[in-house]
Structure 1
Amino acid sequence: MPLSLKSVPVPEVPGLLDGSEPIVINEPAAIALGKALFWDVNVGSDGVACASCHFHAGADSRTVNQIAPTGNSADLGSAAFDTPANGLPPGPNHRLARGDFPFVQSTDPLRETALYGFSGTADDVGGSAGTFGGTFVSVELADVAADTCSRSPDAVFHQSAVGTREVTRRNAPTVITAAFNHRNFWDGRANNVFNGSSGWGARDSAAGVWVKNADGSVTKTRLHLVNASLASQALGPPSNTVEMSCAGRTLAGLGRKLLMRRPLEHHAVDATDGVLGALGFSKPGAPQPALDTYYFRLVRRAVNPKYWSATQRGPFGAPPPAAPGARPLAYSQLEANFGMFFGLALQLYESTLVSDDSPFDRSQRDANGIPIDLTPVAVRGMAEFRNTHCNPCHVGPTFSAAAIHTIAEMFQADQNVFRDTGYPFSIAGSAVIRLATAKGSTMVDVGFAATGVSDDTQDAGIAGKDDFGHPLSYVPQYFDFLAGNAAGVLDPQVAQIRACDLGVPLALNTATPNALWFTQREGVISQPQPTDGCRIPSRRYVPTPAAAAAELAKPNSLRFVNGTDGAFKIPTLRNVELTGPYMHDGGMATLEQVIAFYTRGGTHEGASKNIAFVFAQTHLAVDPAMRADLLEFLKSLTDERVRYERAPFDHPELVILEGHGGDAIAAGPGNPPGAAVAATSAASFACVTGTNVPTRAAARAVTMSARFRQSSHR
């Protein structure tokens, strides 16, 4: 039964706010720091804030210059924009229209594509417009938002000889309620463990933070904060050359740019802002830009002094010289640790963005757990949500299996709480399961699924690699763990995976041989982890290291099958009415199109498609009333505070960067970063009060869904 999020705590990060020497000593100051950094355009190299891609219900509803050709395909060298539905020549500055969606169109949207075929295909994806790119030279220490960079038109994102903003290869997911996710980003690369200086957790051997010792010296020390994937995620975009940064800018360099500035110096802040109002210059009814402080002061208020109070320079490195012969000032400890401050501040701010006040959450429940205050249509839709196998993946109070820690705690308290989902949950929070996919009995990361949105060759998802060439998925690591190959285990969570919680057994202590699991013939032993609360105690066995190693050596193993091809993080359904476009490729504009997608059982038949839950729903195809009921239930998950941007979802002013003057063929130069790049079209996204009333926000909140809705489900 779907569950309310009210009173469900965000997973704790041990050592962040507690213990004998917590890192953050003033949580409200850290939250204020995080909110300011999230909305500040100074964070980007050319006017892009974190919020630029997450301003609309935590997601991105822009419609101009939002297309990335070939998406995340490895074949970026031949990238070319698909011809849009209007038949005009393609280009980077295209304005999306109703006819463009869905990007891949089935001949019969409600029937299996394998039988009825396609009426239109495309390999473009809907992402988020980011930076102009370029090579970093230096930061500006005051006033100017843009960094000094050497810029020229990108090979793909340009109009004639004028560069346009580049576009990310995936759709921007909502940040609201993301604090519950075990890992973040669509491919899970934002590690659950925060190391203080990158998003890669324990995988990054060079990671660490500088700590001041009692004698005044400093030591670079490893940091290991669990349940901190939002901090890991936060460090990606500010250094990403498509999203926010010129190539070569470091987090320490970003610290140098920001620390002596007033937060939000280019943004009006309402006096009633729930976090920032008391820190600004604004009076009621008269918003003013900037906060009455500096970033370095917020850091000092928020963070343990041992991470910023060293007086020496030198051990922390220095920025590259801006000109031949120049001798740049070495970094301070405050600057060197800026990545840690940035990540943890955003983690704490985004942890306040919990959407738990939808009609679904507010409703009373009857003895069977049915929310009786919902409309009869929505109640029928909830039943259909379960009947059509939505709930095994969109499960728990966040409506996502990616909330591993929260689901494990709820399951530990009541092992019947998820009895109707058919999903093998674990009180230990095991991060891998074994279930049926198109490959057979496969291992899949919990919270990720291949549903047939795109072809496997277009985007590997969690089957991809990290920056060091290692697999993002826990699955191949678990195989190495069982085979005794310690070098192949990169993430500490892998050692906690319990065989007794996998669902389909991996090994049984029986003499009867079986091709799909290990038996006494190959050699089995009891799992090394505790067996308390095992779902099925008889499945607590794993292969011996020798048996596992022998199985790994087989070219066509049936026991060790990796089912992560084209698998992506399962998104929350909270506020899904507001967060279009949908899917990792941004290829569906309306919830009607999403429902049609699942009605036909997905679009593509990938190698690891989750056939246990994603298959043609023929009853939905022939009954539009059922589809309407399901849509009504999904809308009951909308929190009106999110729709109308009320606290904690209020915000400072933001200038939205949406495309360039001209069209998909031509644009004129004139952007302040340089003559080689196009002038950006911009619109003000005004600051709002903490008690915002239903005005313009209502119209904006449904822009994507309402603008592109059509009865044909195209």
Structure 2
Amino acid sequence: MRARTLKISILRGLAVYLCVALIFGGIIGPAWGQSLTWRMPKINPGLVRAAALASGLNSLDTVRIPRVENLGDFLRPSRDARMAAIQLGKALFWDMQAGSDGQACASCHFHAGADNRARNQLSPGLKNVNPALQGIFDVTASGGGGPDYLLKEGDFPFHQLQDPEENNFNDRVVLFDTDDVASSMGVFAANFVGITPGDPDDLGISFVDPIFNLDNPAALNIGRNVRRVEPRNTPTVINAVFNHSNFWDGRAHNLFNGVSVIGPLDPNAKIWVADEWGNLSQVTVRIPNSSLASQAVGPPTSNLEMSFFDRPFPLIGRKLLSLKPLGLQKVHPKDSVLGLLASHRDTGLNTSYKNLIKQAFRPKYWNSTNLIPGGFTLMEANFTLFFGLAVQMFETTLVSDKAPFDLFMKGHNSALSRDQLHGLLVFLNQGARGNPPAVDVAIRQAEGALGKKIGAGNCISCHGGPEFTDAAFTSLRDGPDLELIEIEDTTVLDGGLLAVSDVQGLLDNGFSNIGVRPNANDLGRGGIEGGFPLSFTRQMLNPALNFLLEGVLDEFPCTPGVDCPAQLLVDGAFKIPGLRNVELTGPYFHNGGQATLSQVVEFYDRQGDFGDLNIAFLDRNMVFIDLEDIDEEPLVEFLLSLTDERVRQEQAPFDHPQLFVPNGGTFDEEEDFIEVPAVGARGRLAAGLDPLGTFLNLEHTD
């Protein structure tokens, strides 16, 4: 543990305060024994606000939604068409009929845009680079674990030290470690056979799941199957519209190709278009700033999330086009988007998916009597295009810009408490890396008021901008261009402690390796999709892959083969998450290995868990973290100020239809389900419901 030294004592601060009060006649009058009121010196909110602005923070309502320049090529040119697209997107996102066996997109994003379930949420190292180590469940810290296990407080964090704050890697004593991931359950294992129009359940042939089965590793009985679980923790969809790319590894490409997740990494992806006579042809499309559309079309065909194995997307379209939208679920009559379409005495909507598509999209993408090869209609064949763009249009409305922090940045000095102001300065303080002058001024004033030194959280180095993530457009923008590849100093170990090296490396901006897990557990941004590297850096360095960067990167930060650093910092790097509403979106990190924000802060205080193993790839910003014990709780308190109460109360635009999410159980027994009640624009309070809580209902402060 680092020595904690208070440079300014509380007594000295009090003495200074009393002297000032004496000079200005503040407290000593003719009768010393009269009523004496002493007020703690205040942290100056104006100076803190100036420090935040100088560091690039601001209210989120100062940020524009990224513009999709060619959206008009696909949507009809009217306000009604845009509204129809949003209605279509919200219905598709929440519809349980979209999955093979009742899974909606929202099944993993129903709680503040994320997932707070605790049962059957463990996934056993499916991203390990060694196939022999995939699919092996570990015993948890409390002695449980395995398929259908109910996580508990004692299972966290997933990496436990004898001294949780020990930052010398040579002196650490590890008490517990697991490569299991806390994530989200999806479908039961089955091979897709087909659909029956009008039936929400797909036809499939179930098989014994060798991993997600209560008898793992000796699974023989289909009836002992449990739902399959994704290999990474579920991020929130709220404010995701501001990200240049989505998913933890960024594979949801900024350029939507109309068909699949990975944009230009899928060069064969084409949509169908009808000419004025109804003749059909295939075309390649690139729709910029549409990572949310790319992301949306992934889960419906994922055999870990919503789909039986090998289900084609056009058949998802055929099924949904034959069904009443949200036909299994109630829709609140005051739903901010779907209320006017709600079947008030029944489930679902008083419209069809076919009608919503026709209202929203130009006819050339759906209007033809000709069939494409395979016997699909044009509307069925282009269902990925409609699904992706419509869900993106809906998720574009999910912006939480009314947190206490936003009020504070608008001039409301009382919006943040004294502890939260203190925590904000810890967040901004970059320590030895150096601060903007306004930050140093605010820190000096606050240290005088607190009578203690303010530690360096250095959080701002990765969680910048009003979105609180360097993966967002605000932080990536360099003038008119985007700085998607960056040259950075690297990190070394010096006597077991992290230090900055004079060697430089290349990284994908907005992605960071902070030593959550060894790189071999999950390569993250260093992975491969569609036979191509995900990393822009690797695409740049290989001239044969430069075509993947057309329309993505205008210029390179160095000349490959001439002056580019040899070291790459992409393996084990993950997209830096935004911090808004982080109070409600636990567990944390890509492995879901921390249950509370206090555990997250302890992780950073010790400068990560696997910085020694990942040293050649580690983000240098971990070096500059130097927290004091007294700073940790205020930092957590500041993070709580990023919660928009509309999210906690599910008020518009965060209201939603009814949903039933699985909560454990096996294939041959009655599953447990949680009902997520339909909520209208006025939110949970108006519906007589408690506000959203934290993961496992845990307190974030000790």
When normalised by structure 1's length, the TM-score is: 0.80
Provide Cα deviations, 1:349-397, integer angstroms capped at 9, x if missing partner: 000001101011122556xxx9663212111111000112100210111
SS in 2 for 1:490: helix
Partner of 1:703: 694
Partner of 1:626: 631
Partner of 1:94: 149
Q: Aligned partners of 2:158 and 2:667: how far apart in 1? A: 29
Q: Aligned partners of 2:95 and 2:524: how far apart in 1? A: 30
SS in 1 for 2:311: coil
Q: Aligned partners of 1:707 and 1:110: how far apart in 2? A: 21
Count of residue correspondences = 599
Q: Aligned partners of 1:258 and 1:365: how far apart in 2? A: 45
Question: RMSD between aligned alpha carbons?
Answer: 2.3
Query: Equivalences for 1:558-597 in 2 at 5 Å?
Result: 559-597=565-603
2:505 counterpart letter in structure 1: T
Q: Aligned partners of 1:200 and 1:373: how far apart in 2? A: 42
The partner residue of 1:123 within 160, 167, 179 is: 179
Q: Tell me by how many angstroms 1:219 deviates.
A: 1.2
Q: Do residues 58 (structure 1) and 127 (structure 2) align? A: no
Closer/same/farther in 2, CA of residues 619 and 707 from structure 1, 3 Å limit: closer
Q: Tell me by how many angstroms 1:610 deviates.
A: 3.8
Q: Tell me by how many angstroms 1:562 deviates.
A: 1.2
SS in 2 for 1:613: helix
Query: Equivalences for 1:225-374 in 2 at 5 Å?
Result: 225-282=287-344, 288-313=346-371, 316-318=372-374, 330-365=375-410, 373-374=415-416
Q: Aligned partners of 1:497 and 1:562: how far apart in 2? A: 18
Q: Tell me by how many angstroms 1:429 deviates.
A: 1.1
Q: Aligned partners of 1:195 and 1:130: how far apart in 2? A: 25
The partner residue of 1:399 within 468, 473, 480 is: 468
Provide Cα deviations, 1:52-74, integer angstroms capped at 9, x if missing partner: 00000000100000001124213
Closer/same/farther in 2, CA of residues 647 and 227 from structure 1, 3 Å limit: same
Closer/same/farther in 2, CA of residues 105 and 41 from structure 1, 3 Å limit: same
Provide Cα deviations, 1:463-518, integer angstroms capped at 9, x if missing partner: 00012x211000012223xxxx244441325541453xxxxxxxxxxxxxxxxxxx
Q: Is the 8 A contact 1:371 1:379 kept in 2?
A: no
Q: Tell me by how many angstroms 1:703 deviates.
A: 3.3
Q: Aligned partners of 1:433 and 1:392: how far apart in 2? A: 14
SS in 2 for 1:249: coil
Closer/same/farther in 2, CA of residues 269 and 696 from structure 1, 3 Å limit: closer
Q: Tell me by how many angstroms 1:616 deviates.
A: 7.0
The partner residue of 2:622 within 609, 614, 618 is: 614
- Higher radius of gyration, 1 or 2: 2
- Identify which range, 264-273 or 388-397, moves more after superposition: 388-397
Closer/same/farther in 2, CA of residues 408 and 96 from structure 1, 3 Å limit: closer
Q: Tell me by how many angstroms 1:436 deviates.
A: 1.8
Query: Equivalences for 1:534-683 in 2 at 5 Å?
Result: 542-543=558-559, 548-549=560-561, 559-605=565-611, 606-615=614-623, 617-620=625-628, 623=629, 625-660=630-665, 667=666, 669-670=668-669, 679-683=670-674
1:684 counterpart letter in structure 2: E
The partner residue of 1:11 within 62, 66, 79 is: 66
2:510 counterpart letter in structure 1: G
Q: Aligned partners of 1:700 and 1:64: how far apart in 2? A: 21
Partner of 1:379: 421
Partner of 1:531: none
Query: Equivalences for 1:130-279 in 2 at 5 Å?
Result: 130-142=186-198, 144-160=199-215, 161=221, 162-279=224-341
Q: Aligned partners of 1:403 and 1:489: how far apart in 2? A: 24
Q: Tell me by how many angstroms 1:113 deviates.
A: 5.9
Q: Aligned partners of 1:429 and 1:435: how far apart in 2? A: 16
Partner of 1:33: 88
Provide Cα deviations, 1:39-94, integer angstroms capped at 9, x if missing partner: 01111111110000000000010000000112421334442211123324x42010
2:313 counterpart letter in structure 1: L
Q: Tell me by how many angstroms 1:332 deviates.
A: 0.3
Structure with greater helix share of residues: 2
Q: Tell me by how many angstroms 1:710 deviates.
A: 7.4
Closer/same/farther in 2, CA of residues 239 and 379 from structure 1, 3 Å limit: same
Closer/same/farther in 2, CA of residues 668 and 225 from structure 1, 3 Å limit: closer
Q: Is the 8 A contact 1:17 1:23 kept in 2?
A: no
Closer/same/farther in 2, CA of residues 30 and 611 from structure 1, 3 Å limit: closer
- Identify which range, 695-704 or 457-466, moves more after superposition: 695-704
SS in 2 for 1:615: helix
The partner residue of 2:676 within 672, 679, 685 is: 685
Q: Aligned partners of 1:264 and 1:407: how far apart in 2? A: 38
1:395 counterpart letter in structure 2: G
Partner of 1:434: 487
Q: Is the 8 A contact 1:23 1:304 kept in 2?
A: no
Q: Tell me by how many angstroms 1:437 deviates.
A: 2.6
Q: Aligned partners of 2:354 and 2:76: how far apart in 1? A: 21
Q: Which runs of 5+ in 1 are unaligned?
A: 319-329, 410-424, 500-541, 552-557, 661-666, 671-678
Provide Cα deviations, 1:265-305, integer angstroms capped at 9, x if missing partner: 001000000000100111xxxx6311001111111111101
Partner of 2:124: 69
Closer/same/farther in 2, CA of residues 380 and 487 from structure 1, 3 Å limit: closer
When normalised by structure 2's length, the TM-score is: 0.82
Partner of 2:443: none
Q: Tell me by how many angstroms 1:638 deviates.
A: 0.2
Closer/same/farther in 2, CA of residues 86 and 389 from structure 1, 3 Å limit: closer
Closer/same/farther in 2, CA of residues 299 and 608 from structure 1, 3 Å limit: farther
Q: Aligned partners of 1:402 and 1:703: how far apart in 2? A: 25
Q: Aligned partners of 2:107 and 2:316: how far apart in 1? A: 18
SS in 2 for 1:224: coil
Q: Aligned partners of 1:172 and 1:306: how far apart in 2? A: 36
Q: Tell me by how many angstroms 1:170 deviates.
A: 0.1
Query: Equivalences for 1:413-432 in 2 at 5 Å?
Result: 427-432=480-485
Partner of 1:389: 458
Closer/same/farther in 2, CA of residues 447 and 426 from structure 1, 3 Å limit: farther
Q: Is the 8 A contact 1:456 1:565 kept in 2?
A: yes
Q: Aligned partners of 2:691 and 2:637: how far apart in 1? A: 20
Closer/same/farther in 2, CA of residues 80 and 212 from structure 1, 3 Å limit: same
Q: Is the 8 A contact 1:445 1:564 kept in 2?
A: yes
Q: Is the 8 A contact 1:644 1:693 kept in 2?
A: yes
Q: Is the 8 A contact 1:600 1:615 kept in 2?
A: no
Q: Aligned partners of 2:142 and 2:476: how far apart in 1? A: 49
